[in-house]
Copies of this chain bind each other. A is one copy, B any other.
Amino acid sequence: MTAKLKFGILGAGRIGCVHADTLAFRVPEAEIAAVADIHREAAQALADRCGIGRVSASTTEIFADPGIDAVLICTSTDTHAELIAQAARAGKHIFCEKPVALSLKKIDASLEAVKHAGVQLQVGFNRRFDSNFVRVRQAVAGGEIGNPYLIHIVSRDPAPPPISYLGPSGGLFLDMMIHDFDMARFLLGDEVEEVYAAGGVLVDPAIGEAGDLDTAVVTLHFSSGAIGTIDNSRKATFGYDQRVEILGSKGKIASENRYPNQVVVSGEKSVYTDLPLNFFMQRYIEAFAAELQAFVEAIREGKPVPVTGEDSRISAVMALAAGKSFREHRPVRLKEISA
């Protein structure tokens, strides 16, 4: 394929704008043909900013446009599954923000539609494209640290989201830890068979009243025998805390946070640095760009996308198993989870 890949963007919210910037200014092989959003002004503003020729009245109009090769689904989570199915039926390739849906039933319906249509679906697990995690994966895959024994993933937000966000999000396991479930599989190149979830409400009682957790540790039992832990908190006052450490038979690999600068001050009371990058928009800005570049390249070259719908489904199963483990206070095998 030598022509540019023509995109329709569905949703002009925060992440939609990030992706639009990438397509408009960083991926010469892509072109944004149209954007749709239920808030028309948001769509128009994005169109102005990124030089997008057309603001569509509806997603239907975009699906119907034969000039559009692929869609970028950046709408609210509850609409993802249905939009994927529609896009698939319209023969469009799909890049969809995570999660595909909060229930396996919906996810399965979407994946079935994608499979039937023969299009490709990439899900937005952006961390796979972060240069730190890419380097960690490279070390594991290349045998640099030998056979993995233990993996510890830390993933903490600087502050909890608004309480109103929590319910629709699916809760900590499906909304937040789902990224870490994907990382665990990606980094080890191994599948998890069983999980045990410990959790609590330590940050803010209102989160508990809303039926969610704000702190959780999940133990992972991998097929290889390796053991993992994922450590999540909704509050790390010093900023976004995103690290991973793997111990293997030949050594250890550990990634640190990213900082806005590499400056150290030795003062009268302490030796200090500025805080790490505050949240995902700072920390993963390069990863967001890299995941879209990978999608465009895969579609144009007719190769499989690097993060599939099936990857997304497995992470959802892990999140559902973790929730069940927490509620039933026992280890839960992934096989126990079905649609």
Contact = CB atoms under 8 A, between A and B. Distances in A.
A76 interface: no
A227 B215 contact: yes
A266 B252 contact: yes
A208 to B, nearest CB: 11
A237 to B, nearest CB: 5
B229 A217 contact: yes
Contacts of A235: 149, 249
A253 interface: yes
A57 B27 CA distance: 29
Interface stretch (A78-86, A118-126, A195-203): A195-203
A165 interface: no
Contacts of A147: 202
Number of this chain's copies in the complex: 4
A262 B269 contact: no
Nearest to A222: B200
A149 B254 contact: no
A272 B254 CA distance: 11
Contacts of A227: 198-200, 215-217
Contact of A255 (B145, B237, B263): B263
Interface of A: 25-26, 28, 49, 131-132, 134-136, 139, 144-147, 149-150, 152, 154, 156, 196, 198-203, 215-217, 219, 221, 225-227, 229, 231, 233, 235-239, 241, 247, 249-258, 260-276, 329-331
